[in-house]
């Protein structure tokens, strides 16, 4: 090798010389960094070639890290899309804009600026969108999902929404992201600056919760959001506080709760505890074939696996329930199922109250079939039991 390199040039490449050259290159790089001559300011844009290179690297990386991602078959489900849209208004629109809502001039001067997703979404495959939303993009300002490992189900709800975004009208967007609330309700720092102080929650924070849960706590769009009306005040406050500090994982609820002081979370818990429990108008009907099996599990538990009867803690029963145990009667089956699978999977626990460890020990004894059955049973009960 050295013979070939030697031809015409009187330098022999020896391991020692190669080592010195490498050290010199590192030293030159450090000296350049130390000098401050490299311009990191966002006001100077990338050269077109740098832009092209960085984007090319990003595309390749996203493609590689999407290998093995399995796309679920329910991405057309209206409830899933509405849940993703609700979060899009909280966590994405401030950078990317939304139908009828232009991007802030502040984000136009980011480098790179967050792109217009209406045009970009069709250039990606569904699995790629999942990877981008789950993991974010380093060196760009595009954040990863809060609780990205635990809540892939939530990431998929945002992907389901993104798939519908191209060509969406402002009215369609408003219905999906805001429900019956008006524009002032969009979560974010700006909204917090307004609103009267007084008894009960502030108008602007309640309006933000109501985009998804309604002012009556019954949610909207079928089973898109859990029913929170009529839960005990203790349970609601503990759940909200746990979300706020990331103890109960949710990339949708954590940003909504974390920006509020505890006094406000307490006022919201009181508000929703005082709403009458009722069945949401468009709640899906639970599968009647499963209800009877579910009832046996709830009343008697499963002896073979040592699963206790759910009823002893969650009712329905004539005796008053411990306020730390949530009411499950009339809750959406899909929500209960998701929660039970999360309790099973998450080793550092979910829930927010003092007895949350108990529930994990119950959940991991249940089979997927038992979970489906017991969720259908509780969903079939009249709310408020
Ligand atoms: C703080 C600003 C910011 C927030 C918040 C943000 N993004 Fe981004 N996003 C960016 C930037 C900047 C890029 C460009 C990355 C690049 O080109 O390398 C980007 C890129 C993307 C892309 C890839 C588009 C493309 O082709 O380059 C998608 C999809 C996306 N974001 C979706 C979302 C979703 C969904 C949310 C909310 C969960 C979100 N973003 C929140 C800044 C943001
Ligand atoms: C973008 C939609 C959205 C917004 C805004 C939102 N929530 Fe939620 N909320 C959800 C979703 C989705 C869940 C289920 C999360 C999970 O899987 O843990 C949830 C769960 C909850 C729970 C737990 C229910 C239970 O049975 O354990 C409470 C309590 C709650 N939200 C209250 C609120 C309050 C109060 C606000 C306003 C500060 C709010 N939410 C804002 C979507 C939202
Ligand atoms: C010994 C009491 C106890 C028993 C028995 C019990 N649970 Fe629980 N359950 C709890 C506690 C405590 C929580 C969590 C409260 C918190 O968030 O701190 C909980 C939470 C839940 C949740 C989450 C509710 C929500 O709104 O997010 C579901 C779903 C649930 N339990 C289902 C069941 C089912 C199904 C059974 C029967 C197989 C069962 N539980 C048996 C005590 C119990």
Question: Is residue 295 in some structural domain?
Answer: yes
Domain extent, residue 201, equals 193-273
- 112 burial level (CB within 10 Å; 0-12, 13-18, 19+): middle
Pocket residue to mutate for ligand 2, from 84, 88, 240, 256, most atoms within 8 A of Cβ: 256
Measured CA to CA, the distance from residue 324 to residue 352 in angstroms comes to 9
Cα(244) to ligand 1 centroid in Å equals: 24
Question: Is residue 343 in some structural domain?
Answer: yes
Strands (E), 139-235: none
Q: Supply the CATH number for residue 255's domain.
A: 1.10.760.10
The closest ligand to the CA of 91 turns out to be 1
pLDDT in tens, 73-96: 999 999 999 999 999 999 999 999
Question: Is residue 25 in some structural domain?
Answer: yes
Q: Supply the CATH number for residue 124's domain.
A: 1.10.760
pLDDT surpassing 70 at residue 7: no
The closest ligand to the CA of 337 turns out to be 3
Pocket residue to mutate for ligand 2, from 186, 213, 327, most atoms within 8 A of Cβ: 213
Are residues 200 and 246 located together in one domain of the fold? Answer: yes
Are residues 57 and 158 located together in one domain of the fold? Answer: yes
CB of 240 closer than 6 angstroms to any ligand 2 atom: yes
Task: Give whole-number Cα distances, 371 to 23, 330, 367, in Å.
Answer: 61, 16, 6
Identify the residue whose C-alpha is closest to ligand 2 atom 12: 225
pLDDT in tens, 180-232: 887 665 544 444 444 444 568 999 999 999 999 999 999 999 999 999 999 99
Of 273, 304, 323, the residue at which a domain comes to its end is: 273
Are residues 221 and 117 located together in one domain of the fold? Answer: no
Question: Is residue 67 in some structural domain?
Answer: yes
Pocket residue to mutate for ligand 3, from 151, 321, 326, 340, most atoms within 8 A of Cβ: 326
Are residues 58 and 160 located together in one domain of the fold? Answer: yes
Are residues 86 and 161 located together in one domain of the fold? Answer: yes
Identify the residue whose C-alpha is closest to ligand 1 atom 11: 114
Cα(238) to ligand 1 centroid in Å equals: 32
pLDDT in tens, 254-304: 999 999 999 999 999 999 999 999 999 999 999 999 999 999 999 999 999
Question: Is residue 317 in some structural domain?
Answer: yes
Are residues 53 and 166 located together in one domain of the fold? Answer: yes
CA dihedral (291, 296, 301, 306) positive or negative: negative
Are residues 83 and 171 located together in one domain of the fold? Answer: yes
CA count, 13 A, side-chain hemisphere, 338: 17
Summarize the confidence of residues 111-129 as an average pLDDT. Answer: 95
Are residues 61 and 151 located together in one domain of the fold? Answer: yes
Identify the residue whose C-alpha is closest to ligand 3 atom 34: 310
pLDDT in tens, 11-61: 788 999 999 999 999 999 999 899 998 888 888 888 899 989 999 999 999
Measured CA to CA, the distance from residue 385 to residue 382 in angstroms comes to 7
């Amino acid at each position: 090798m050295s013979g070939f390199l030697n031809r015409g040039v009187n330098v022999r490449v020896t391991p020692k010389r190669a080592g010195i050259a490498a050290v010199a290159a590192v030293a030159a790089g450090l000296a350049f960094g130390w000098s401050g001559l490299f311009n990191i300011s966002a006001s100077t844009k990338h050269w077109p070639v740098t832009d092209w290179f960085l984007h090319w690297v990003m595309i390749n990386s996203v493609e590689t890290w999407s290998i093995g991602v399995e796309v679920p078959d329910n991405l057309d489900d209206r409830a899933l899309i509405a849940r993703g849209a609700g979060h899009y208004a909280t966590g994405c629109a401030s950078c990317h804009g939304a139908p009828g809502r232009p991007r802030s001039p502040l984000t136009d001067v980011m480098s790179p600026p967050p792109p217009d997703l209406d045009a970009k979404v069709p250039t990606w495959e569904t699995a790629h969108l999942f990877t981008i939303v789950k993991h974010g993009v380093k060196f760009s300002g595009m954040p990863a999902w809060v609780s990205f490992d635990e809540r892939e189900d939530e990431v998929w709800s945002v992907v389901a929404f993104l798939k519908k975004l191209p060509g969406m009208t402002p009215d369609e967007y408003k219905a999906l992201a805001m429900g019956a609330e008006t524009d002032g309700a969009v979560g974010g720092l700006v909204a917090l600056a307004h609103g009267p102080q007084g008894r009960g929650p502030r108008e602007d924070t309640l309006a933000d919760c109501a985009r998804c849960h309604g002012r009556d706590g019954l949610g909207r769009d079928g089973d898109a959001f859990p029913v929170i009306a009529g839960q005990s005040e203790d349970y609601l406050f503990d759940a909200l506080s746990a979300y706020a500090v990331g103890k109960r994982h949710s990339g949708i609820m954590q940003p909504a709760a974390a920006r509020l002081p505890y006094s406000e979370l307490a006022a919201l818990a009181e508000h929703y505890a005082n709403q009458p429990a009722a069945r949401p108008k468009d709640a899906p009907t639970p599968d009647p074939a499963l209800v009877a099996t579910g009832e046996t599990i709830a009343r008697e538990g499963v002896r073979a696996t040592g699963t206790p009867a759910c009823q002893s803690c969650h009712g329905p029963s004539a005796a008053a329930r411990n306020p730390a145990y949530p009411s499950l009667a009339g809750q959406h089956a899909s929500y209960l199922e998701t929660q039970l699978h999360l309790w099973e999977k998450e080793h550092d626990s979910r829930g927010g109250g003092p007895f949350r460890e108990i529930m994990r020990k119950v959940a991991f004894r249940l089979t997927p079939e038992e979970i489906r059955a017991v969720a259908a049973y509780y969903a079939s009960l009249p709310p408020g039991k």
